[in-house]
Amino acid sequence: MIQILIILIILGLIFNQYTKEYSLESMEFRREIKEGIVEIDEPFYIDSIVENRKWLPLSFLQVKEKYPGNFDFVHQTNVQDNGLSKVHTITLSLLPYQRITRTYKLVAHKRGRYFLQEAVLISGDFIGLQTVSKNFDQQIQEITVLPKAIELNRTLEPYGNYYGDISVNRWIIEDPILNRGLREYTGNEPEKHIHWPSSLKTGELLVKNFDYTSDKSAVIVLNTAMSKHIWEKKDSKKIERCFSIVRSILEEFESTGIPYGMASNVGTIHQFFGKTLTDIGYGPGHLRGLLESLGRAEYHSRGSFINLLEELKDRSDGNRTYVLVTPSMMEEDLLGLEELRKASGKIILITMSQDYVRDVSSKIEIYQLSTEN
The yes-or-no verdict on residue 116 having pLDDT over 70 is: yes
Residue 161, Cβ density class (10 Å: 0-12 exposed, 13-18 middle, ≥19 buried):
exposed
Tell me the sheet residues that pair with 121: 63, 134
The pLDDT of residue 7 is: 56
Q: Of 223, 224, 213, whose CA–CA distance to 172 is shortest?
A: 213
Domains 21-145 and 152-175+214-369 share a fold: no
Q: Of 133, 134, 48, 163, whose CA–CA distance to 99 is shortest?
A: 48
Q: Of 345, 357, 222, whose CA–CA distance to 368 is shortest?
A: 357
- Entry pTM: 0.79
Dihedral (CA of 197, 202, 203, 209) sign? negative
| Higher per-residue pLDDT: 269 or 338 | 338
Instruction: List the chain domain ranges.
Output: 21-145, 152-175+214-369, 181-213
DSSP of 207-276, one letter per residue?
EEEEEESS--EEEEEE----SSSTTS---HHHHHHHHHHHHHHHHHHHHHT--EEEEE-BTT-GGGTT-S
List the alpha helices (DSSP H) in the chain.
2-22, 152-155, 168-172, 196-202, 236-256, 284-296, 305-314, 333-343
Counting Cα atoms < 13 Å in the Cβ hemisphere of 22 gives 12
Q: Is 169 helix (H, G, I), strand (E, B) or coil?
A: helix
Q: Which of 99-103, 166-170, 215-219, 255-259 has the lowest mean pLDDT?
A: 166-170
Share of the chain above pLDDT 70, in %: 75
**CA–CA separation, 246 and 251 (whole Å):** 9
- Hey, which CATH number is domain 21-145, 2.60.40.740, 3.40.50.1000, 1.10.645.10, 3.40.50.1220? 2.60.40.740
The CATH number given to 152-175+214-369 is 3.40.50
The pLDDT of residue 158 is: 84
